[in-house]
Amino acid sequence: MQALQIILAGSLVSISCGLLGCYLILRKMAMVGDAISHAVLPGIVLAFLFTGSRDSVTMLIGAGLVGLLTTFLIEYFHKKGKLQTDASIGVTFTWLFAIGVILISVFAGKVDLDQDCVLYGEIAYVPLDLWITDAGTVMGPRVIYISGSVLILILLFIKLGYKELFLTTFDPAYASAIGISTALWHYLLMGAVSITTVASFESVGAILVIALLIAPPATAYLLTDKFKHMLIYTCIIGVLTSIGGYYLAYNTDGSIAGAMASVAGVIFLLVFLFAPVNGYLFKAIRNRRKPKITVN
């Protein structure tokens, strides 16, 4: 039963991250997810300091606001400061993450947070973190309810804004021409990434969140040229990553989050090599079979 709960929690997180990661990959913004996953730390700390509560909604609001600030600063430094995008990302997320670590250190007696927990997480504790009602009824692991709620929000966000997200991703010039605000949908997407990231901190940590944001969508990208298929493949790969990661950690007595990230990398490598259309080996074979044209 505990194994099922851990795998379910990992699958919910991986699907949420993977769906948003598809848009990040196609917008060539994969590392923005990395930046947001680190930069939201001061938002979490400040939310706790102002409210004195680790309530999930409070944390999500604090992280979401800082996530939007991160996106704004990256764009501002890139456009106004003439910095390259990667430099803007590097400066912004390291600065904000450092501020979060300092806040935790300074207010160590008041902040019930651990930067190691934020980075690495511990999904093995999912079955122990139970939601117990005031009447004493045990509802099950709290993380599953949080991750499930976030997944529902992400699915609604994609369903309701599918056309806008699709057009601003593939043809932002056309989207602007027909009256769709590319800036608005950009910040809505970044806000969704922020919410998903912080909701996953306690269970899987920032490192695995980054892996799940990038690896499954990148793998699905190599398997298909159709966007809807890419979304479906990403969900399947995310679930396989959670299952494979759990049993790898179980058999090696290692970190479950680390094992899941490792499995995600292995799946990507296998697809990179053996994908029917875009696989490296199949491309090499096709190129060797092409007739050579000689000029006399």
Side chain identity at 70, as an amino acid letter? T
The structure's pTM equals 0.84
Q: Could you say which residues of the chain have pLDDT below 70?
A: 52-56, 107-122, 125, 127-131, 201-203, 205-206, 286, 289-296
Q: Give the model confidence (pLDDT) of 209-218 as tens digits.
A: 888 889 999 9
Domains assigned to the chain: 2-216 (1.10.3470.10)
Residues in contact with 225: Cβ distance below 8 Å, sequence separation at least 6, in sequence order: 277
